Amino acid sequence: MDNALTPLNREVSPLSNHALADLVACPQCDTLHRLVLVAAGQKARCRRCHSVLMSPHASAMTKIVMLALTATVLMIAAITFPFLTLEARGLTQRNSVIDAILAFSSGLMLPLSLAIAGLIVVLPLMRLAAILYVLAPMAIGWAPAKGAMRAFRFAQVLKPWAMAEIFIVGVAVALVKVAGLAILTIGPAFWAFTALVLVTVLNDNFMCRLTIWRTLEARRPHL
Amino acid sequence: MAHSGGSQTPPLTARAAGLVACPTCGRVHQAQTVHCLRCGQVLASRDGTSMQRVWAWLVAGFMAYIPANLYPMLETTTLGKTQSNTLLGGVIELVLHHSYGVAAIVFFASIVIPIGKFVAISYLALQVQRPDRNSVHLKHRMLEVVEFIGRWSMIDVFVVALLSSLVQLGSVVSVQPGIAAISFALSVVFTMLSAMSFDSRLIWDTDTKDSETA
Ligand SMILES: [Zn+2]
Ligand SMILES: [Zn+2]
């Protein structure tokens, strides 16, 4: 495991861009490593800053595609089923996630409601779509789809902005805050959302960026 | 991990080898290459505008954080009476209701994390010009923590969104979002952009421990 990535010595002779494909530079600290096969289930870390460079998993592509499909179904369930039901003094109110988002949709608050819709529904869905677009053809052994590189880069950029898990914690806090005012019941959409978060975490765990990039490059049809 | 002997050979960076690396996919190229051959990303050995963008977003984030603390986050109307809560006021109210755990979460997400981020990013940005022998690992860890934890400040914005959609029971009780919800959300987004703009390779460039032998 340790010798999978060996630090290079100072005497690097001028190499062509093609030969340089066997090297990897740590994205965090720029240290060069010579790339050797890393076994599935193992992690290769940078010698200098200890960031994980590679963590390949057995049949990762298939697993990621299955999990991304599951996550998409869960997201659709989460936005269509009732999310929370509120009761106070004989009045009952059912809310879907969409209702929660549209709360701000008047006047000045409209940009905020759009931003929240983006962070908890739109961006996670776009990220799932991008991942499926890139990895579904790869999982069945095809060449990458047109624009797959751009789509995967897009998925990478989106990652910090998809905030479904933070929203779930927000729901928990809101439940406590509202406890004195009304009775709150959790609907099926809440559980779909929670499951979505768990599936996303599992999915990200299987995602070894470097391995996917290298596979994309290797299977790319010649330009 | 076998570190034996590892420290004798100083690590060679892509830049020191006259190469340029892609931060997105790790591919290494000849110095003059413009686009990454693997993923298409525009290449730069070091992100030259990194520190400019870090400071710009950080200042913007700080400016948005001030009104976020002064104006109401939430306005609750109970039987005709309106009560408004600021960011800190919401925490205090939770404490008064003996919800200490939740109060701690909100206090951490809305006060500790944002202020910690301002301090940490400014410190890292100021230190990036100075050679450093001992604390490079620590600084890198700091940047990673800031990047990882920053998004969690959004909790309070989501809470405001949820409460104002849930609690709309006519004249009995209703909750409206306050203007601070917008400025706080902006503050979180700006500081996230600030942390993302930070090219961590600049931190490692200040590491003099390795270059002494070169
Ligand atoms: Zn590194
Ligand atoms: Zn690249």
Residues B27 and B107 in one domain: no
Residues B67 and B12 in one domain: no
Q: Would you tell me how many other CB atoms lie within 10 Å of the CB of residue B93? A: 18
ipTM above 0.95, yes or no: no
CB neighbours of A77 closer than 8 A, spacing ≥ 6? Answer: A188, A189, A192
For residue range B125-146, what is the model confidence (pLDDT) as tens digits?
A: 999 888 887 789 999 999 999 9
Q: Work out the percent of chain B whose per-residue pLDDT is above 90.
A: 54
Residues B105 and B7 in one domain: no
pLDDT at position A88 is 73
- The answer to whether A163 faces chain B, any CB pair under 8 Å, is yes
Considering all CA atoms of chain B, what is the largest pairwise distance in Å, rounded to the nearest integer?
A: 75
Evaluate whether A137 touches A143 at the Cβ level (below 8 Å).
yes
Q: What residues does the ion ligand 1 have nearby, CB within 5 Å? A: A 26, 28-29, 31, 46, 48-49, 51
Number of domains observed in the structure of chain B:
2
Q: For residue B173, give the nearest of A173, A181, A216 by CB distance.
A: A181
CATH code for the domain in which residue B117 is found:
1.20.140
pLDDT at position B31 is 87
pLDDT at position B79 is 81
Residues B62 and B26 in one domain: no
Mean pLDDT of the B77-102 span:
88
Percent of chain A as helix, strand, coil, to the nearest 5? 55, 15, 30
Residues B32 and B125 in one domain: no
Q: Mean pLDDT of all residues in chain A?
A: 85
Backbone angles phi, psi at B176, to 5 degrees: -115, 145
Give me the amino acid identity at B114: P
Q: Would you tell me how many other CB atoms lie within 10 Å of the CB of residue A212? A: 23
Inter-chain CB proximity A169 and B28 less than 8 Å: no
Spatial separation of the C-alpha atoms in residues B40 and A148, rounded to whole Å:
11
pLDDT at position B186 is 95
Spatial separation of the C-alpha atoms in residues B24 and A153, rounded to whole Å:
7
pLDDT at position A4 is 45
Cβ burial A14-40 (10 Å sphere, 16+ → b, else e)? ebeeeebbebbbbbbbbbbbebeebee
Rounded to a whole number of angstroms, the distance between the first and last alpha carbons of chain A is 35
Residues B113 and B133 in one domain: yes
Residues B100 and B17 in one domain: no
Give me the amino acid identity at B87: L
- The answer to whether A173 faces chain B, any CB pair under 8 Å, is yes
CB neighbours of A222 closer than 8 A, spacing ≥ 6? Answer: none
Cβ burial B30-42 (10 Å sphere, 16+ → b, else e)? eeebeebbbbbbe
Spatial separation of the C-alpha atoms in residues A213 and A25, rounded to whole Å:
14
**Structural domain for B2, as ranges:** 1-45
Residues B151 and B185 in one domain: yes
Q: Mean pLDDT of all residues in chain B?
A: 87
- The answer to whether A21 faces chain B, any CB pair under 8 Å, is yes
Angle between helices B155-166 and B87-96 (to 10 degrees): 70
pLDDT at position B187 is 96
Highest mean pLDDT among A37-46, A176-185, B77-86, B101-110: B101-110
Inter-chain CB proximity B9 and A86 less than 8 Å: no
B3 confidence band (pLDDT: 50, 70, 90)? very low
Per CB-CB distance under 8 Å, the chain B contacts of A209 are: 25
Spatial separation of the C-alpha atoms in residues A194 and B76, rounded to whole Å:
28
Closest CA to A49 of B202, B164, B30: B202
Inter-chain CB proximity A100 and B165 less than 8 Å: yes
- The answer to whether A32 faces chain B, any CB pair under 8 Å, is yes
pLDDT at B57 over 80: yes
Write down the number of H helices and E strands in chain B. Answer: 9, 6
By CA distance, what is A179's nearest residue in B?
B97
Residues B188 and B133 in one domain: yes
For residue range A101-141, what is the model confidence (pLDDT) as tens digits?
A: 776 666 667 888 888 889 999 999 999 999 999 999 988 88
Angle between helices B179-197 and B113-127 (to 10 degrees): 30
Q: Would you tell me how many other CB atoms lie within 10 Å of the CB of residue B45? A: 16
pLDDT at position B210 is 55
pLDDT at position B85 is 87
Residues B180 and B76 in one domain: yes
pLDDT at position B120 is 96
pLDDT (tens, 9 = 90+) of chain A, 223 residues, equals 344 455 554 444 555 677 787 889 999 999 999 887 888 888 999 999 999 999 999 889 999 999 999 999 999 999 888 888 877 777 777 778 877 677 666 666 788 888 888 999 999 999 999 999 999 998 888 888 889 999 999 999 999 999 988 998 898 888 888 877 778 788 899 999 999 999 999 999 999 999 999 989 888 876 5
pLDDT at position A89 is 72
Residues B14 and B118 in one domain: no
B196 confidence band (pLDDT: 50, 70, 90)? very high
- The answer to whether A10 faces chain B, any CB pair under 8 Å, is yes
More confident residue, A88 or B162: B162
Q: What is the pTM of this model?
A: 0.88
**The length of chain B, given as a count of residues:** 214
Residue among B1, B19, B25 with most chain A CBs within 10 A, to mutate: B25
Residues B160 and B87 in one domain: yes
pLDDT at position A68 is 96
Q: Would you tell me how many other CB atoms lie within 10 Å of the CB of residue A154? A: 17
pLDDT at position A105 is 66
Judged on CB neighbours under 10 Å (0-12, 13-18, 19+), B139 is buried
pLDDT at B170 over 70: no
Per CB-CB distance under 8 Å, the chain B contacts of A16 are: 30
Spatial separation of the C-alpha atoms in residues A189 and A195, rounded to whole Å:
10
Evaluate whether B36 touches B43 at the Cβ level (below 8 Å).
yes
CB neighbours of B70 closer than 8 A, spacing ≥ 6? Answer: B86, B180
Closest CA to B126 of B137, B118, B115, B116: B118
Inter-chain CB proximity A166 and B13 less than 8 Å: no
